Amino acid sequence: MSGPALRKVESHAMIHEAALQEAEELTNVLENLLKENDMDRALETAYITLEHWETRTLAHAEAEEMGLYKEIAEKSPELKDSVVALTRDHELLRLIVRQIKDILANTGVGVDVLQRFQALILVDKLHNDEEEKVLPEH
């Protein structure tokens, strides 16, 4: 079973919004540090931003997959394709996070890392919109 906050549209949307707002703020800080060529602080900020995605958004995604999505698929088999699509979005987020880790480990912080954080934000926004269309029914 998923927690009650995941099953209520309003509280679920608030979870998404809070995590996304924090990610956007961290990404803006990273962008400014890169513009200022403050590479030490940019690297530190990139790792903080990466940790944010792993502990907030990806942890939330895993909880959704283990509980909410299974419940939706069992309760409403006609939504199976939607659940598969939402799960694929999570996989894309995980893939981009892995790419960021690899880039940071191999070449350090730069525009390519910033672009991937921006891509995470975009994918997550699109995902949240789609998820909130499915959620009201459950």
Task: Spell out the per-residue pLDDT of the chain, length 138, in tens.
Answer: 345 445 555 667 788 899 999 999 999 999 999 999 999 999 999 999 999 999 999 999 999 999 989 998 899 999 999 999 999 999 999 999 999 999 999 999 999 999 999 999 999 999 999 998 887 555
Q: Cα–Cα distance between 76 and 63 in angstroms, integer?
A: 19
Closest by alpha carbon to 52, among 110, 93, 105, 8? 93
**The pLDDT value given to residue 1:** 38
Domains of the chain: 4-137 (1.20.120)
Amino acid at 54: E
**The pLDDT value given to residue 13:** 76
Cα dihedral: 78, 84, 90, 91 (round 10): 180
pTM for the model stands at 0.89
Closest by alpha carbon to 82, among 101, 98, 68? 68
3-state SS string for 33-58: HHHCCCHHHHHHHHHHHHHHHHHHHH
**The pLDDT value given to residue 9:** 55
What is the CB-side half-sphere exposure of residue 120 using CA atoms within 13 A? 30
**The pLDDT value given to residue 31:** 98
**The pLDDT value given to residue 7:** 53
Close Cβ partners of 137 (under 8 Å, ≥ 6 residues apart): 72, 76, 79
